[in-house]
Amino acid sequence: MRTTTSTLPGLTLTDLTLDAPLDHANPDAGTIEVFARVVTGEGGAGKPYLVFLQGGPGTEAPRPTLIPANPSWLPRVLEDFQVVMLDQRGTGRSTPISSGVVTDDGGTQAQVAAPLAGRSARAQADYLTHLRADEIVNDCELVREALGVPTWTVLGQSFGGFTTLHYLSVHPESLAGALLTGGLSAVRHPIDDIYSATWQIMIDKSEGFYRRFPDDRDRVRELSALCAQGRISLPNGDLVSPDRFRTIGHRLGMQGGIEQIHYLLELDHESSAFAHDLAAALPFAGRNPIYAVLHESSYADGVATRWSADRTMPDRVREDVTLLGGEHLHRTLFAEDSELKPFAETADLLADHEWNQLYFPERLARAEVPVAAAVYHGDAYVPLEFSLETAALLPDCRTWVTSEYEHNGLRMDTAVIDHLIGLLKGRRWL
């Protein structure tokens, strides 16, 4: 383990870099670097540890500051814990997966960068199968052991909550407690059930959006037609198809998203402002390619995904371009996005990959770990009914079901984390 220490106003940051097996079950498969940053507040050196597992997949941990607070929940958590910000493997400083732009004969194109550069699509796919929740948990265990602590608490946001469920399945003895925000994934449900449910949620959210802004329906219809004509493009020149444009709806699953989409739609679609704001509104892009390449695998519990979001799109949605999508990945994205094109063949291989099981109901039922979970009533990505079924599997899961927040509630209001810490400590029950 390699460590460095630095300070920011009110914070001490201890950076850890460890060598971890790419495949914890096969030491001969090579190693990767895993990076974590321990954040300690003033006078907090003796406090217990909490490891934060970020949403995604494919996004590094936040880079912490206190003035202004980033992430917003950090000051509250530092009252009780030292916080371990883990860059999940393949992100940030943990041997990141990326594409790079190269110049060839006067033109530019993207190609996969190290560590995937020079590998066949099959070899790339094999490598990427080791970047899921199971191996992230194995990395967590390495970091915990390096810190010399027998147990710690985990805070899992969205995909980080899915990863926490695997943690509870395989290493409950390492957890003093778990805090989940929008992260109680479906257990014992086929992936098609999950995407079918989220499509229905997005139909409801789309209709709610148009009740709020009735004129925007015609504007979405107009813009979708322009996409079909090849007249909507991003600042890098990529054309936007109607299916890709539909994914702006993922903003409807976030606090403030209705307003963000409305303000995007009122811009002149020929303006640079529209092009840049549209690029920012689309969920899947080249900065974090894992988010697109491995997204469906995060719902795959012992099955192949086979482009589930595409296959489960309801006929009603196919026929009505004004019904927006959420985190529904379309296979055609890998032909449209110039930075994701190098991953197209690899993504196809991964769609046919039979993923290993992540959640074990009988083990979850024996996981005697206190869990406090925020379950958002209208969650666009983690359907309420599945979350409550999963909560019922856990012997000590204290759920807070609320319609006050959307999926990003943790980032929007410190009351969310304060409430969950209270639940975990038994001070509040709802």
Q: Which amino acid appears at position 168 of this protein?
A: L
Same domain, 57 and 139: yes
Residues 368 and 341 occupy one common structural domain: no
The domain boundary, picked from 305, 328, 351, lies at 351
Q: Are residues 175 and 77 in the same domain?
A: yes
- Domain limit, last residue, from 302, 333, 351: 351
CB 159 within 8 A of CB 264: no
Q: Are residues 158 and 221 in the same domain?
A: no
Per DSSP, helices labelled H in 250-352 are: 257-265, 272-281, 289-293, 308-311, 315-319, 333-336, 344-351
Tens-digit pLDDT string for the chain (430 aa)? 899 999 999 999 999 999 999 999 998 999 999 999 999 999 999 999 999 999 999 999 999 999 899 999 999 999 999 999 999 999 999 999 998 766 566 566 788 999 999 999 999 999 999 999 999 999 999 999 999 999 999 999 999 999 999 999 999 999 999 999 999 999 999 999 999 999 999 999 999 999 999 999 999 999 999 999 999 999 999 999 999 999 999 999 999 999 999 999 999 999 999 999 999 999 999 999 999 999 999 999 999 999 999 999 999 999 999 999 999 999 999 999 999 999 999 999 999 999 999 999 999 999 999 999 999 999 999 999 999 999 999 999 999 999 999 999 999 999 999 999 999 998 654 4
- 248: tokens are 């702006």
> Which CATH number characterizes residue 50's domain?
3.40.50.1820
Residue 121 domain-assigned? no
Sign of CA dihedral 136, 139, 141, 143: negative
Instruction: Say yes or no: 262 and 399 in one domain.
Output: no
**Extended strands (E) in 228-296:** none
Q: Are residues 303 and 328 in the same domain?
A: yes
Strands (E) in 158-228, as ranges, are 175-181
Among residues 315, 333, 351, the one where a domain terminates is 351
Q: Confirm whether 320 is domain-assigned.
A: yes
Give the residue numbers spanning the domain of 80. Answer: 2-89+130-188+359-424
Task: Please tell me whether residues 299 and 368 are part of one structural domain.
Answer: no
In a domain, 117, yes or no: no
My answer on whether 85 and 182 are in the same domain is: yes
Shared domain for 288 and 397, answered yes or no, is: no
Distance between CA atoms of residues 188 and 418, nearest Å:
31
- State the Cα angle at 363 between 359 and 369, rounded to 5°: 100
pLDDT value of residue 99: 86
* Shared-domain flag, residues 405 and 284: no
How far apart are alpha carbons 49 and 39 in whole angstroms? 10
* Residue 14 falls inside a structural domain: yes
How many Cα atoms occupy the beta-carbon half-sphere of 61 within 13 Å? 26
Domain total in the chain = 2
User: Chain-centre distance of CA 295, in angstroms?
Assistant: 8
Residue 54: name the closest of 19, 3, 92, 98 by CA: 92
Query: Do residues 288 and 392 share a domain?
Result: no
Residues 6+ apart with CB under 8 A from 26: none
* Predicted pLDDT of residue 100: 78
Residue 400: how many other CB atoms lie within 10 Å:
18
Gap between the Cα atoms of 372 and 405, Å rounded: 16
In three-state secondary structure terms, 114 is: coil
The verdict on residue 101 lying in a domain is no
Whether residue 119 lies inside any domain: the answer is no
Give residue 430's pLDDT: 42
Does any domain span residue 94?
no
> Whose CA is closest to 141, among 27, 297, 3, 21?
21
Backbone φ and ψ for 32, nearest 5 degrees, come out as -130, 165
Contact call for residues 341 and 334 (beta carbons, < 8 A): yes
| Residue 396 · residue 366 · CB < 8 Å | no
Tokens standing for 430?
A: 């709802």
Give a yes or no: residue 218 inside a domain. Answer: yes
Give the start-end residues of each E strand in 254-370.
none
The token pair at 351 is 């769609």
- Type of residue found at 27: P
Same domain, 175 and 198: no
Instruction: Specify the DSSP element, H or E, that contains 420.
Output: helix 414-424
CA distance 86 to 209: 36
Q: Please tell me the predicted confidence (pLDDT) of residue 429.
A: 46
H or E stretch including 292? helix 289-293
